[in-house]
Structure 1
């Protein structure tokens, strides 16, 4: 039952577009309070997180149909520019693996841009295996930490809230930029979805 709850918590938190507690805090909670094998906590947490983010990106993709035509055009031009240069795709994949920034907005941007999601989800999953293992291992070493403080620090921290608001603003700015002009992409090359 504990593993199912862990999966559902990780999955649910990663469906949120903003202001959810980080999944690593759930891993820390389980690592401090339980005796389950750390590898199982990390694997289940990363799987739940990856599937939640994938579904968030798919939802953003469907939401994109209702954006104004100008924004849809900007997003399509950005996708063409990213897909045209393979090193751009690798840079975006690296963002998912090593970025300390909230990943919800990154997944929403990729979903809106209709970039293939499986590679990004796999990179996210792989990166989270390492970060969750680190946090879980640390939690096992520091069992006396106040769990409530660890779990909800980002929700109540002014810096955590400000970062979420800034990232939402960045997402809005990304879809508002005339990417065709800035990236020298012909609007005719941008696919119409």
Structure 2
């Protein structure tokens, strides 16, 4: 293999693997900045490859979560389908959902897990995720020089901070509750 391509293959593999994690993964932006600063890789290639491999990893995470749905009882499946129909059955709610995947500051793992559980069409939300990552990764790459001195501490803090851990736990609980709530009882009747 060409030695100039090897670092980019490593970036794709790491970003893909990080995005398969259902929770507690390091922030994608910081991982890319770390590669940029340590290996002096082309920032444009890093942004594009990072966004695409992030989207591919999250897509596969959602597909795997959708497989969990197959093992739920008929009542839970019907409830999750009701939530899906409610969220995707109206243009405004669908657009808001795509906007959430495009711009959300929340960790995306649990959002993709929820989408997988509900059986949401994954391609549109994955495209929104990739587009959002192209923008956010570009901003982080531009700021990489400034962050170089504090990058290690920032990466450790992002994974070990009580605030970050609390958000991850709350989002995991939300995904579990998504499957436990009887959405047919709470959502407005649909025609």
TM-score with structure 1 length normalisation?
0.90
CA deviation string 1:111-151 (max 9, x = no partner): 11111100000000000000011111111333323x32232
> Out of 115, 124, 146, which is 2:120 matched to?
115
Question: Are positions 1:128 and 2:133 aligned together?
Answer: yes
Deviation (angstroms), 1:74: 1.3
Deviation (angstroms), 1:89: 1.0
Structure 1 portions without partners, runs of 5+? none
How far, CA to CA, are the matches of 2:156 and 2:18 in structure 1? Answer: 13
Question: Are positions 1:37 and 2:42 aligned together?
Answer: yes
- Greater mean alpha carbon deviation, residues 150-159 or residues 49-58: 150-159
How far, CA to CA, are the matches of 2:170 and 2:86 in structure 1? Answer: 24
- Greater mean alpha carbon deviation, residues 73-82 or residues 173-182: 173-182
CA deviation string 1:72-93 (max 9, x = no partner): 2210111111232121111110
Structure 2 portions without partners, runs of 5+? 1-5
Report SS of the residue matched to 1:66. coil
Question: Are positions 1:149 and 2:167 aligned together?
Answer: no
> Out of 162, 165, 170, which is 1:158 matched to?
162
User: Do the aligned partners of 1:105 and 1:168 also contact (CA within 8 Å) in 2?
Assistant: yes
> Out of 84, 87, 90, which is 1:82 matched to?
87
CA deviation string 1:20-51 (max 9, x = no partner): 11111111102222322211111111111000
User: CA 1:176–1:185 in 2, change beyond 3 Å: closer, same or farther?
Assistant: farther
TM-score with structure 2 length normalisation?
0.91
The aligned counterpart of 2:187 is: 183
How far, CA to CA, are the matches of 2:48 and 2:105 in structure 1? Answer: 20
